[in-house]
Structure 1
Amino acid sequence: MAELSFRADPDVWQVVPGMPELPAWYERQVDAAPEDARDAVVTASALALSARVDADLTAVLLLCDPAADLYAMLGVVALDGVPAPDSAAGAIGIAEALAPSPWPGEALAFDLDGVSGWRVTLLDEAAAGADESVALPQTVTTVYVADVRGRCVVAALSPLTPLAAAVVQVLAERVILTFDVEDGDGESQEGEEPA
């Protein structure tokens, strides 16, 4: 079976480990948190821990920058035997299944050094106000639906304010452009380390 590999800048993203390292990772997060940001760090780390334990994800990455008051999670799943969609409508369908929204998703095609697909932005459900003709989003969810050597890889950011999403999308795309599929003998096709 092929495995997804990627490179994430350790100054930006932490790869959330699996068991048995996960409890110690969480304790280090809490212990290292600045006092004035402890609650935010605890919440972000707990959500990342929960995603790692409860969801069937290939990888979970956490962005935790108390100085900038910026917290985000990137959950990644590489789907076995599932080709990437060949249309924006297909990508929107996948994104809307992950993050239902009363508003239609918007897809933007991307090609990041050979990793291509769609970035789908969805207004979160709380954004729909009393007047359904006007949306003032409090948060948005960004879902990347990518084709990595014929394999469908989905990467979703946690809900973020629109301004934070604009910043974090750039940081997430730096990881996504490194996505590759490792062949069956355990060696990366591009010399990358597996996730």
Structure 2
Amino acid sequence: MAELVMAPNPAVWQVVPGLSDAAAWYERQIAAAPEAAREAVAGASALALRARLDTELSQVLLLCDPPAELYAMLGIAALDGVPAPETAAGAVGVAESLVASPWPAEALPFDLDGVRGWRVTILDEQDAGGDDQVALPQTVSSVYVMSVDGRCVVATLSSLPPLAAAVVQVLAEQVIATFGVEEDAR
């Protein structure tokens, strides 16, 4: 069986552990956080743990930067026996099945050190105070749909305000560039 491998920068991303290490990891997160940020760190860590333990995700990474008040999660699913979409429309279909939005998604192709696919950007709208002619993006979701050594991989960033999303997309793409598949030696 092939396993998805990656090398996230530990100064940026934390690998969220499985059940056996979850409680200790969570306690370390809170203990290491500045006093003023403990509640935010606890919330972000709890959400990341829930995603790791309650879903079929292959891996969950947490970005936790209290001084910048920046918290994000990258959920990664490696799918067996499913071909990666070869078109933007196919990638948009995958992304829209994961993230609902009243606006159409936009897909851009990428090639990050041989990892090829689509970054699909989805905007969430905010009501403009009764003016039905104006809608403002409140958050941005980014879904990466790609082929990694012939295996379909989907990585989803948590929804973020537009400026934060632009910063975190770059950090997520640095991790995605390290994706590979390793054969299990069992």
Fold conserved (TM > 0.5)? yes
CA distance in 1, matches of 2:92, 2:105: 6
User: In structure 2, do the counterparts of structure 1 residues 140 and 58 end up closer, same or farther at CA, with 3 Å as the change threshold?
Assistant: same
Deviations along 1:17-70, whole A, 9 cap, x unmatched?
A: 102001110011111111111111111001101101111100000000001111
Which deviates further from its counterpart, 80-89 or 28-37?
28-37
- What's the TM-score, normalizing by structure 1? 0.91
* C-alpha contact 1:102 1:128 (8 A) present in aligned 2: no
Contact kept? 1:84, 1:152, Cα under 8 Å: yes
Q: How many residues align?
A: 185
Structure 1 residue 23 corresponds to structure 2 residue 23:
yes
C-alpha distance in structure 2 between counterparts of 1:128 and 1:152, whole Å: 36
Question: Paired residue for 1:127?
Answer: 126
CA distance in 2, matches of 1:172, 1:6: 12
Q: Which residue of 2 aligns with 1:69?
A: 69
- C-alpha distance in 2 between matches for 1:110 and 1:47: 28
TM-score by length of 2: 0.95
Distance 1:111-1:47 versus aligned 2 partners, 3 A rule: same
Is 1:106–1:122's contact at 8 Å kept on the other side of the alignment? Answer: yes
The structure carrying a bigger strand percent of its residues is 2
Amino acid at match of 1:173: E
For residue 42 of structure 1, what is the amino acid of its counterpart?
Answer: A
Q: Quick check: 1:128–1:137 contact (8 Å CA) kept in 2?
A: no
Runs of 4+ in 1 over 2 A off after TM superposition: 126-135
- Single out whichever of 111-120 and 175-184 deviates more from structure 2: 175-184
Distance in 2 between residues matched to 1:44 and 1:51, nearest whole Å: 11
1:185–1:69 CA distance, 2 compared to 1 (3 A): same
* Aligned-residue RMSD, C-alpha: 1.4
Alignment-derived partner of residue 192 in structure 1? none
